[in-house]
Structure 1
Amino acid sequence: MRQNCSVAELLRSEMDKLTPTERKISRVLLANYPVAGLETIAQLAARVEVSGPTVLRLVSKLGFDSYTAFQAALRGELEARLQSPLVRREVGMAAEGTDFLADFVRRQTELMQQTVANVSQAEFDGAVELLADPKRRVWLLGGRLTEPLAAYLAHHLKVVRSQVTLLRPLPTSWADNLVDMGKHDVLVVFDIRRYWQDAQRMAEMAAQRKVQVVLFTDQWLSPVSRCARYTLAAHTAGPAGWDTNTPLLMLVDALIAAVNTRHWGDIHERLQELERMRAELGEGDESMRR
């Protein structure tokens, strides 16, 4: 089993190597993650309508030497999902006399490398194509700490395409937007531990209306993943106790770059017209910005 890799990431990365029956088990595990994996072998096998030995073969392929070890990993993730910064801080991190900034950057680099190693190319490419499709309206929603990331992505998308809306993080206002959503829309949700139940409900209701949901989350997977078409999970466990948004921002920047690179022909013409309009409106005059 790969180090620093969640069970969900293992299931996603190994999906193409599994037998049809094993993929069936994997999909059930991901759809009810991590609760389904905490059932007994007999219960999980009955739920998926497979044999117990088939469940054990899948667990072995994921790198666990027993079903007990597999469940222990899931329980550890469940505990990590609920941890507050009070218990996350790593003792001895950048102790006195060390270069805090250099150590911090090293850890951030490790998290970004772990993120890239565990993001499926198919998931990333699928998200890029959805957000680049001019026929689709795009809605974005972020939480208390991720709303700036949603806004950052929204601002970039508004430059290269039309019909982009940043939702306010106020559940009482969402119905006004949800009623207009349909099968040609995309809802981008940012949700990290400890997960936002209102965002989960919003995503579920959007999915019921055939909206394609794109999720940015952490390696423990927001419950929104159950209804997401594409999930981009970053390793966010920061060394100082607070989860870091740097790996998530890296994924956002990569997505923006991919949209621009792969659809430059369409975007180039729009940018030329946009720059002309900005010049006519005097946006190039620094005195007007003060």
Structure 2
Amino acid sequence: MASGTLADDIRLKLGILSPAERKVARVLLASYPSSGFETIATLAERAAVSAPTVLRFVNRLGYSGFPDFQAALRAELEDRNASPLSLYEATDDAGSADSAAGLMARSSKLFTAAVAQTLAETPPHDLERAIALLSDRKRRITLAGGRFTHLLAQYLGLHLMQLRDDVRFLPERAVERTAVLAALTRRDVLVIFDYRRYEHDKLALAQLAQEHGGKVIVFTDTWLSPAASHAEVVFPSQVTTPSPYDSLVPTLAIVETVVAGLITAMGNEAREHMKHVEDTAHRIGLV
């Protein structure tokens, strides 16, 4: 999982915490991030530990005290909820103009680092599980994106349609969308793209799919969409970019990695399906 959030730091340190400190960690993770704003006494009571244990726990994370820990959490939430406008206004040199060469050099550095970090922090078992779910012909796949990320949902979905049957996009119209969601079953895989300023419906979609026994795959940023708590697989990506808009370049790299894995996993079945699709397209004059 991508680094950079307090929740990730807590998970990484679970192995070095004392049993009592681990109780505090699990209480925090169970209702993160809201639990981090409770009082020391409340956290101690919920975890069935002493107040000094809570203080030792935040010290173990590297904070001088509980106010320091909560300040870091507030800063994280500000980043998590940032909009392009707020990022633009927070950038000192937002109005300055790079030369073309300078912009290219800065973009190259930022995108290269973001893609490399995203791929390096993607657990192989998560990639393997996603490929297994998406290549399973017994499963039906539904894809849903957001304001900008619907483009990536379509990109992945169109590749999937060339490789297998039973792939669809979540409809926009209310009646059709409701019908699709009401018909979710254990054989469904819901693929969600959701990035900061998260869209409320994505959490509901993930909950519905999970309640019906289906599997959920979430593509998100390092702060994690709320839908991630209901997902079987989560792909967090870096979003660093030279503009106030979050970058989707690292996510595209993950999507194309998944597609490459699907082609390998599905083998001749994928090739035969692609051939059938091409033949059909020729017959109706689309190519």
Normalised by the shorter chain, which TM-score bucket? Answer: 0.7 to 0.9
Superposed displacement of residue 20, structure 1: 6.8
TM-score (norm 1): 0.83
Q: Which amino acid aligns with 1:85?
A: P
Q: Which residue of 2 aligns with 1:99?
A: 102
Shift of 1:234: 0.9
> What is the rounded CA distance, in whole Å, between the counterparts of 1:252 and 1:136 in structure 2?
19
User: Measured at CA, do residues 209 and 253 of structure 1 come closer, stay the same or move farther in structure 2, by a change above 3 Å?
Assistant: same
Other-structure match for 1:275: 275
Within the candidate set 205, 214, 220, 1:217 is matched to 220
- Alpha-carbon offset, residue 254 of structure 1: 1.6
* Counterpart amino acid of residue 244 in structure 2: G
Contact 1:130 / 1:186 at 8 angstroms: preserved in 2? yes
**1:60-116 deviation line (CA, Å, top 9, x unaligned):** 454444333332221112112222222213333775445212211211122223323
Question: What CA distance in whole angstroms lies between the structure 2 residues aligned with 1:227 and 1:280?
Answer: 38
Which amino acid counterpart does residue 199 of structure 2 have in structure 1?
W
Distance 2:276 2:176 in 1: 35
Structure 1 counterpart of 2:225, which letter? S
Does the 8 Å CA contact 2:222/2:237 hold for their aligned counterparts?
A: yes
User: For residues 166 and 186 of structure 1, what CA distance do their matches in structure 2 show?
Assistant: 12
Picking from 194, 197, 203, the partner of 2:197 is: 194
- In structure 2, what is the equivalent of residue 34 of structure 1? 33
CA distance in 2, matches of 1:91, 1:69: 26
Of stretches 83-92 and 60-69 in structure 1, the one that deviates more from structure 2 is 60-69
Give the secondary structure class of the aligned counterpart of 1:126: helix
- CA shift, 1:125, in A, is 2.9
| Structure 1 residue runs without a partner (length 5+) | none
SS for the counterpart of 2:282 is: coil
> Gaps spanning 5+ residues in structure 2: where?
none
Query: Given the superposition, is the C-alpha separation of residues 207 and 279 from structure 1 closer, same or farther in structure 2, using an over 3 Å criterion?
Result: closer
Identity of aligned residues (%): 36
Query: Given the alignment, which residue of 118, 131, 134 partners 1:131?
Result: 134
Match of 1:44 in 2: 43
Report deviation, 1:188: 0.9
Number of aligned residue pairs: give it: 282
Question: C-alpha separation between the residues in 2 aligned to 1:195 and 1:135?
Answer: 31
My pick for the range that moved more, 50-59 or 84-93, is 50-59
CA distance in structure 1 between the partners assigned to 2:112 and 2:217 by the alignment: 25
Tell me the secondary structure at the aligned position of residue 185 of structure 2.
coil
Q: CA RMSD in A?
A: 3.0
**Structure 1 residues 80-159: aligned runs within 5 Å:** 80-89=79-88, 90-92=91-93, 95-97=97-99, 99-159=102-162
Contact 2:164–2:273 (CA under 8 A) maintained in structure 1: no
Indicate how the Cα distance of structure 1 residues 128 and 21 shifts in structure 2: closer, same or farther if over 3 A, else same. Answer: farther
Say whether 1:162 aligns with 2:191: no
Which amino acid is the alignment partner of residue 115 of structure 2? M
Deviations 1:107-152 (A, max 9, x none): 1122223323443333333323222222222111101110011111
Q: 1: distance between equivalents of 2:98 and 2:13? A: 42
What SS is found at the alignment partner of 2:197? coil
Moved more, 44-53 or 189-198: 44-53
Please tell me whether the aligned partners of residues 142 and 191 of structure 1 are also in contact (alpha carbons under 8 angstroms). Answer: yes
Classify the secondary structure of the residue corresponding to 2:236. strand
